[in-house]
Chains A and B, each alone.
Chain A
Amino acid sequence: MYHKEKSIQIKSSASALYNNLSVLRIAPRSLTYFAVVHANVVNMVSASWDGLNYSHRQLQSKEGSVATSSSLIMQAAWCVLPSRELLVLTSQRGIQMYESDGSIMVYWHALDSPETPTAQAVFTRGIAAVREKYICVGISSGSVLVFDVPSKGSNITLSEVLEEHKESITDMASECSGSLECIADLVSADDSGLLCVWKSGEDFQLLNKIPGFDMSCSSVKLWKGTVVAGYGTGQIRLYEAVTGILHAEINAHARWIYSLDIAPFTGLLLSAAEDSLVRVWHLTMTPETNNVEIEHLYNECVTDTQICGAKFCDGDGYAFAVTGYDLTEIIRYTQG
């Protein structure tokens, strides 16, 4: 179904972090941006669609005006809002937001880090752009920070702190189908496997809490009102977001799942794990029966690699890209 394309080399290898690949498609300029985290650095590559031009930039974790920082980055992701796109970095010290090409830091939010390290780790992780103007970021304490983002400029403000989770946030996702009919806007996941479903607004509203079975949910997506969750046990579960009804349960991988992605136009689902496998599935909604079906389509084995990031490069799922621990390349696959 897919064949391997030419890989993109990156300046330093990918670290073993959940969801360690972010992709931004810039159609007007026929470019795709990729971002991969290595310890305290984000490797950014801009690739032209004709495969001829690649340009690299390394973004170092900055705390305030300190140019270099040993603070480790947990995740980097582009947030696409109607008016602008921002690159968000979550680290041990706080949250940094940049213009999408990484050229200018627009906003910095410091975490309340304790003077001396505590047994409980302190960091930020989990990034999602919600509706027209929110960027949500998770914290190791379980809190979710909601930032209000103006259509331009750096006057970003902390609008709300959502306190539902008791364990560290692992990942967050907003409704990606583009449909305005969906009630649920955001899902947040944590180390206990708990999923919280939210509706955005001046005050975010908790719609539902779906319990985990004490198994960390490391990656989550929300599409047409369905939550797709990947767990440390290698299982994937599909839930109806608002009701919590379990639609499907798949014993998908032999190791911890590190990344999930959905191609919103076709319903293709990508899952990747430490077991070296990337799998492609297809989700079908039957609105009459309110059922969601999942079908397995394809396997790709990335030999001797613990995969840490896998994302579709376009809304149809025509191509996808993969990163792995200790790999200094982004491996690409295209249909055909």
Chain B
Amino acid sequence: MSSRTLPLLFINLGGEMLYILDQRLRAQNIPADKAKKVMNDIITTMFNKKFLEELFKPQELYSKKALRTVFDRLAHASIMRLNQASMDKLYDLMTMAFKYQVLLCPRPKDILLVSFNHMDAIKDFVRDTPSILSQVDETFRQLIEIYTPLSAGELQLIRQTLLIFFQDMHIRVSIFLKDKVQNSNGRFVLPTSGPVPCGTQVPGQMRQFSCSGEELKRLQFSNGGNYTSALREGSFEMFGERVIKLGTNMYSVSRPVETHMSGTSKNSAQHTKVNTAPNPLAKEELNLLAKLMGGLEMQTPTSTDSGFRVNLFATDEEEEEALISRPDELSYEVINIQATKDKQANAELAKIMGEFGESGDPAPTSSSKGDDLLAMMDGL
């Protein structure tokens, strides 16, 4: 599948994370200066040059486990702390939101507009800090350069790759249920009405031609929906109206964001099957993660520091309850990387890499993936 999917996945999920954290910081009445520091720290870390360099390299998508680890690290890039239950809920919301946006994009190219909506909002969060803003702008330019020339078919391949990543996730999100964009079974509503995508005509017209090319007949068939003509196309530049609303902040109005765990276990069973299947890429992924983590500096709050905890739930009791009652198949296994200094980091990671080898054997160091495959085929 597409090797250019990871940057889009990361930036859009990151954008959703920032929307949610921003709302929670305000809902919990965190002092403005602290809230701003958190947002700035996270955005600075997200757009770290070395980190993005690794991210933008053509590569397969990370496993859910690896990606969750990256976001765990990102969420803790500042003085803010999140408990396990809150982090789980945050990740649920982020992923379901982006799944919704990918699914409902009228055409594959519109995923770029969704990404630009997130980028526009991120720029707005750091508009008062020119140093961070210029980092974000630089990335914006890179996104435009890489993705706008892609054909519709290539963008559809990216979309299909993202949909495989999100497959079988049906966590119910309160805000989606209220807005009637998600059903009580966790599936999203796909309307058969509204504007058709740019480049598509409203279904109905049938034209027949003679061998010489003249139009013989024009008929209409009943399309079974209630479609209208396409809206004008959104802007694919640094600035401009995006037209598509997907990817804009839906948490602007202060609404409690809850996820419902019950009733989703049946659907999630398959999701974990794919997750827990032996993943021969695990070692390679961890190498990449190690490089990424090198670029993500974690702040250790000192005793006098102004660290604080953010809760994604209404009360501490609710948070505790959520942790206990979370169904097993929905638990994200996170790679626990505590390292803060290079040496420590490498040692920890080396240990973890060793753990990922088959039955705990140390990872083979010499052969590359390509060599392994060739050796296997020679044996055919």
Instruction: List 30 A-B pairs, Cβ < 8 Å.
Output: A15-B167, A16-B159, A39-B164, A65-B380, A70-B279, A113-B370, A117-B57, A117-B58, A117-B60, A121-B1, A167-B151, A170-B153, A190-B153, A216-B153, A232-B107, A234-B196, A245-B209, A249-B207, A249-B209, A254-B196, A254-B197, A256-B107, A277-B224, A277-B225, A291-B216, A293-B208, A299-B223, A304-B187, A304-B190, A306-B103
Closest-by-CB residue of B relative to A273 is: B203
- The answer to whether A117 touches B3 (Cβ under 8 A) is yes
Least CB distance, A92 to chain B, in whole angstroms:
7
- The answer to whether B59 touches A254 (Cβ under 8 A) is no
Give chain B residues whose Cβ lies under 8 Å from the Cβ of A39: 164, 167, 274
> A179 at interface (Cβ–Cβ under 8 A)?
no
Q: Annotate A104-127 by CB proximity to B: 1 below 8 A, 0 otherwise.
A: 000010100101111111010000
Q: Annotate B214-255 by CB proximity to A: 1 below 8 A, 0 otherwise.
A: 001001011111010000000000000000000000000000
> A178 at interface (Cβ–Cβ under 8 A)?
no
Give chain A residues whose Cβ lies under 8 Å from the Cβ of B183: 304
Q: Among B209, B227, B279, which residue has the most Cβ atoms of chain A within 10 A?
A: B209
CA distance A235 to B153 in the complex (A): 15
- The answer to whether B279 touches A305 (Cβ under 8 A) is no
Size of the A side of the interface (Cβ < 8 Å), in residues, is: 74
Least CB distance, A229 to chain B, in whole angstroms:
14
> A334 at interface (Cβ–Cβ under 8 A)?
no
Q: Annotate B193-220 by CB proximity to A: 1 below 8 A, 0 otherwise.
A: 0001101111111111111010010010
Closest-by-CB residue of A relative to B376 is: A64
CA distance A277 to B190 in the complex (A): 11
- The answer to whether A275 touches B274 (Cβ under 8 A) is no
Least CB distance, B79 to chain A, in whole angstroms:
37
CA distance A254 to B223 in the complex (A): 9
Chain B positions 267-298 with a Cβ under 8 Å from a chain A Cβ: 270, 273-274, 277-281
CA distance A66 to B192 in the complex (A): 44
> A215 at interface (Cβ–Cβ under 8 A)?
yes
Least CB distance, B40 to chain A, in whole angstroms:
32
A13-B167, A245-B213 known; 6 new pairs, CB 8 Å cut-off, are A13-B168, A39-B167, A65-B376, A117-B58, A251-B206, A304-B183
Closest-by-CB residue of B relative to A277 is: B224
> A147 at interface (Cβ–Cβ under 8 A)?
no
Least CB distance, A194 to chain B, in whole angstroms:
11
CA distance A256 to B2 in the complex (A): 18
> B377 at interface (Cβ–Cβ under 8 A)?
yes
Give chain B residues whose Cβ lies under 8 Å from the Cβ of A303: 190
Q: If A16-B163, A192-B151 touch, does A234 touch B188 (CB 8 Å cutoff)?
A: no
B-side interface mostly: loop
Give chain A residues whose Cβ lies under 8 Å from the Cβ of B164: 15-16, 39, 72
Least CB distance, A69 to chain B, in whole angstroms:
8
Least CB distance, A150 to chain B, in whole angstroms:
19
- The answer to whether A191 touches B151 (Cβ under 8 A) is yes
Q: Annotate B165-191 by CB proximity to A: 1 below 8 A, 0 otherwise.
A: 001101000000000000100011110
- The answer to whether B192 touches A64 (Cβ under 8 A) is no
Among candidates B206, B377, B379, residue contacting A296 with C-beta atoms closer than 8 Å: B206
- The answer to whether A252 touches B203 (Cβ under 8 A) is yes
CA distance A234 to B196 in the complex (A): 10
Least CB distance, B151 to chain A, in whole angstroms:
6
Q: Annotate A253-281 by CB proximity to B: 1 below 8 A, 0 otherwise.
A: 11110000000000000000001110000
B contact residues vs A (CB 8 Å cutoff): 1-4, 57-60, 103, 106-108, 151-154, 156-157, 159-160, 163-164, 167-168, 170, 183, 187-190, 192, 196-197, 199-211, 213, 216, 219, 221-225, 227, 270, 273-274, 277-281, 368-370, 373, 376-377, 379-380
Closest-by-CB residue of A relative to B274 is: A39
- The answer to whether A215 touches B203 (Cβ under 8 A) is no
CA distance A16 to B158 in the complex (A): 11
CA distance A250 to B206 in the complex (A): 4
Among candidates B1, B152, B209, B370, residue contacting A72 with C-beta atoms closer than 8 Å: B1
Closest-by-CB residue of A relative to B159 is: A16
Give chain A residues whose Cβ lies under 8 Å from the Cβ of B163: 15-16, 325
> A63 at interface (Cβ–Cβ under 8 A)?
yes
CA distance A66 to B167 in the complex (A): 25
Chain A positions 287-336 with a Cβ under 8 Å from a chain B Cβ: 289-291, 293-294, 296, 299, 301, 303-306, 325-326, 328
> A100 at interface (Cβ–Cβ under 8 A)?
no
Q: If A306-B103, A326-B168 touch, does A251 touch B151 (CB 8 Å cutoff)?
A: no
Among candidates A12, A117, A305, residue contacting B270 with C-beta atoms closer than 8 Å: A12
Give chain B residues whose Cβ lies under 8 Å from the Cβ of A92: 1
Q: If A115-B368, A254-B200 touch, does A232 touch B152 (CB 8 Å cutoff)?
A: yes
Give chain A residues whose Cβ lies under 8 Å from the Cβ of B203: 234, 251-254, 275
* In the A-B complex, the 10 residue pairs with the closest CB atoms: A191-B153, A296-B221, A216-B153, A251-B201, A299-B224, A16-B163, A117-B3, A64-B376, A64-B377, A117-B58
- The answer to whether B223 touches A234 (Cβ under 8 A) is no
Among candidates B152, B189, B281, residue contacting A216 with C-beta atoms closer than 8 Å: B152
